[in-house]
Amino acid sequence: MAEELVRQGAHVAICGRDAGAVSRAMHLLLSRHGADVLGEARDLGKEEEARAFIESVVARFGRIDLLVNNAGVIQVAPLDMLDVAKLDEAMRSNFWSAANTTFAALPHLGADARIVNVTSVGGRVPLPHMLGYTASKFAMVGLSEGLAAELRARGTKVTTVVPGPMRTGSFYNAEFLGRQREEFAWFSVLSSLPLLSIDAEVAARRIIRAAREGRREVHLGLVGRLLPVLHGLAPRLFGMVTTAMARLLPPPGHSPERWKGREINSTLPGSFLLGLGDRAARENNEEPPV
């Protein structure tokens, strides 16, 4: 997203919790496009950190014309491997980061400003083995649609983005609990295969175009378009399908440890199943295993 905005001539500021990832992203944008990007390592799930970041942006650029809330974590695990603390982590990263940053930015939005909230198809329909992610994305959809209703009269237009799996290589930074290798296998393949996942660059262009046009909502990818329609037309049948999916997915394991995808000893990285996902990870600063 930052790269596409730079291509279109925007002055860009980026923020993330991982200082190394922020530094690498800044280096990539500088080396590829000569872009002097403002980057800070902060936990936007904390109100004071979000406020400090927005203050830095305003001090550098004077105002904010476009705010993109795209932060988040992905936890992949059966219910028995979760607890309230893990749900709170998902809410803090996926929901509160967007809420904190938006409220901090509101006084500094320029005329005809735009806010983009990148949610998920998991914010429209339940996804088995992704309870924390789904709950936090449902909350983010509600926040985004509520903001759209109240801010439009001020000239600020809010776009809710509902993508299916995006081919960014993010499965290497997702967290897996329970039977970690088995959970990694299904999730990484789903996030890599064409038709089931959407190319990150294509998604970025569509998102930015939707923001320019002031669209309230945009669905990306076959999964992002199809699942909400099926859920709305036949909720009972959809519930039966997700119940069956939950039974087919790996049962709870005995290990309480959480592993990131890049830490999992799997034969999948480098295989043809993850070919597109591995390439996307290299292009999108997701640190695939070497």
Whether 247 maps to a domain, the answer reads yes
Whether 48 maps to a domain, the answer reads no
Catalytic, out of 53, 133, 176, 238? 133
**Residue 196 has what DSSP assignment?**
T
**Residues 22/14, Cβ–Cβ less than 8 Å:** yes
* Domain assignment of residue 71, given as a range: 66-283
Instruction: Examine the residue annotation and report whether 133 is marked as an active-site residue of this protein.
Output: yes
**Residues 103/90, Cβ–Cβ less than 8 Å:** no
Q: Is 242 helix (H, G, I), strand (E, B) or coil?
A: helix
Read off the CATH number of the domain in which 125 is found.
3.40.50.720
Please give the tally of structural domains in the chain: 1
Burial 254-276 (b: 16+ CB within 10 A, else e): eeeebbebbebebebbeeebbeb
- CB-based contacts of 53, cutoff 8 Å, min separation 6: 13, 15, 40, 42, 44, 101, 104
Region of 165 (left: φ > 0; alpha: ψ -120 to 50; beta: rest) is: beta
Whether 35 maps to a domain, the answer reads no
**Residues 170/191, Cβ–Cβ less than 8 Å:** yes
Q: How far is CA 151 from the centre of its chain?
A: 23
**Residue 15 has what DSSP assignment?**
E
Whether 61 maps to a domain, the answer reads no
**Residues 125/227, Cβ–Cβ less than 8 Å:** yes
> In 3D, which of 211, 188, 260, 272 has the Cα closest to residue 4?
211
Name residues of the chain where pLDDT drops below 50. 290
Q: Which two tokens stand for residue 4?
A: 């596409």
Whether 24 maps to a domain, the answer reads no
Whether 12 maps to a domain, the answer reads no
Q: How far apart are the C-alpha atoms of 251 and 239, rounded to whole Å?
A: 19
Q: Where do we find the tokens 């999992």?
A: 264
Q: Name the pTM for this structure.
A: 0.91
Q: How far apart are the C-alpha atoms of 106 and 257, rounded to whole Å?
A: 39
Whether 11 maps to a domain, the answer reads no
Q: Is 79 helix (H, G, I), strand (E, B) or coil?
A: helix
Task: Return the pLDDT at 288.
Answer: 58
Whether 159 maps to a domain, the answer reads yes
116-130 residue pLDDT tens: 999 999 999 999 999
Q: How far apart are the C-alpha atoms of 57 and 181, rounded to whole Å?
A: 40
Task: Return the pLDDT at 195.
Answer: 85
